[in-house]
Amino acid sequence: MELYCLEHIEDKGLYRNVELKRIGYFSSLEKAESTIRYFKTLNGFCNSPNGFIIRQVLFQDVTAMEYVYELEQQIHDTDYYYWYEKTLGIYASLSECEEAEKRFLLLNENSFSRFELISELFINCLKVDEYSSFWGEGFDTCVGGK
C-alpha cells in the first residue's frame, strides 16, 4: 500500500534554519494536493506557498490503513538551546512501532549521556486522510508573518 506524507518547510531566516511541519498522511495524491490548496489559505502557510512537500511512503503487506504510527526522536539540552527532531520510522501498526522503539533503545542505550543531551522517543498516531489538528488554524511566523 502507498500513502502520501504531506509536509511543509518554512525558511526561518539566516540563523534559524528551516522548520518542518508534518500535516498528515493521505491515501491518494489528489487528497494531499487538495489539502495543500486549503493550507495555502491559512496564516503562516500562505507566506510560504511553495514550502509544501509530498513524499510517497510504501508499506508492504498492508491492504488498508486507518492510522499511521511514527516513531519520533527528540534530542535537546536541558535549556532547549539545542533541539533536534527526527522521525525514525513509520509503521502500519502500533505493535510494529513499539518493537522498533525497543530495538532503538537497545542499540542506543548510552549514546547521548556522554554529550549531556536528553533523548526522548515519542509515538505519534495519525489518522489517514485527516490533517493534523495542530496546524489546522495555521501558525505564526517570525519571517514576514501576518
Domain ranges within the chain, ordered by starting residue = 2-135
Judged against a pLDDT cut of 70, whether residue 15 lies above it is answered with: no
- Model pLDDT, residue 59: 87
- Model pLDDT, residue 101: 95
The C-alpha cell that represents 107 in the structure block: 542499540
- In terms of phi and psi (left: phi > 0; alpha: psi -120 to 50; beta: otherwise), the region of 133 is alpha
Q: What is the mean pLDDT of the chain?
A: 86
Judged against a pLDDT cut of 50, whether residue 145 lies above it is answered with: no
Judged against a pLDDT cut of 50, whether residue 23 lies above it is answered with: yes
- The one-letter amino acid at 48: S
Residue 70 pLDDT level (bands cut at 50, 70, 90): very high
Query: What gap in Å lies between CA 79 and CA 53, rounded to an integer?
Result: 31
pLDDT tens-digit map of 44-59: 888 888 999 999 999 8
Mean pLDDT of 26-36: 96
* Residues forming beta bridges with residue 118, ordered by sequence position: 76
pLDDT tens-digit map of 88-142: 999 999 999 999 999 999 898 777 666 778 889 999 999 999 998 888 777 765 4
- Model pLDDT, residue 136: 76
Query: What gap in Å lies between CA 20 and CA 2, rounded to an integer?
Result: 22
CB burial readout 28-44, b (16+ within 10 A) else e: eeebbeebbeebbeeeb
- What pTM was estimated for this model as a whole? 0.82
- Model pLDDT, residue 77: 86
